[in-house]
Amino acid sequence: MPHEVLGADGYALLSRYFARYVLPKALMSGEMTKLQCAVLSNIVGRAERGVANAIQREIADEIGTSRSNVSPALKHLAARNYIRSVGRGLWQLNPLIAYKGNGDEQQRFLAELRALALENGFPDTIGLSAVPNEKKEPPAC
């Protein structure tokens, strides 16, 4: 089945740095499980202008798991600033990982996020460096 790659609204772009260095290292070190990677991939594929509308049941159905597995995966990804919750069923994807839109829009969005000066360092602190020292053990799931 053909799929849209480019459109009138710009394009979807996955950070090459994230895809080449961050994600493989997270998977190989155990920082991220296959399930968490699948959930993140689903969020990346849904995100429009940095926000994904994704209820846990839909994510679970699309990746072939149960809703009870998705909830802890989302919490894990949020603790590491890959995503953040911005409302019920709304997830903000870190625009340094992926963004759908043009580069100017991505830069404006990053500026808005940085102006919030979030305590956890979102969007600039990603992965284990976003987790307080006492929580840096590999995930159990």
Q: pLDDT tens across 53-69, in order?
A: 989 999 999 999 999 99
Q: Alpha carbon of 109 to those of 26, 34, 92: distances in Å?
A: 25, 29, 11
Per-residue pLDDT tens for 109-133? Answer: 999 999 999 999 999 999 888 888 6
Q: Can you tell me the distance from the alpha carbon of 34 to that of 38, in angstroms, rounded to the nearest whole number?
A: 6
Does the pLDDT value for residue 136 go beyond 50?
A: no
Cα distance between residue 109 and residue 50, in whole Å: 8
pLDDT tens string 73-86: 999 999 999 999 99
Distance between CA 73 and CA 6 in Å, rounded? 30
Digit-coded pLDDT (tens) for 8-57: 556 667 888 899 998 999 999 999 999 999 999 999 989 888 899 989 99
Round to whole Å and give the CA distance between 23 and 3. Answer: 24
- The closest alpha carbon to 16, from 98, 77, 89, belongs to 98
What residues contact residue 19 under an 8 Å CB cut-off, 6+ apart?
none
Q: Where are the alpha helices (DSSP H) in the chain?
A: 16-17, 23-29, 34-46, 56-63, 67-79, 103-116
- pLDDT of 7: 54
* pTM of model > 0.75: yes
Which pLDDT belongs to residue 133? Answer: 67
Q: What are phi and psi of 133, to 5 degrees?
A: -50, -40
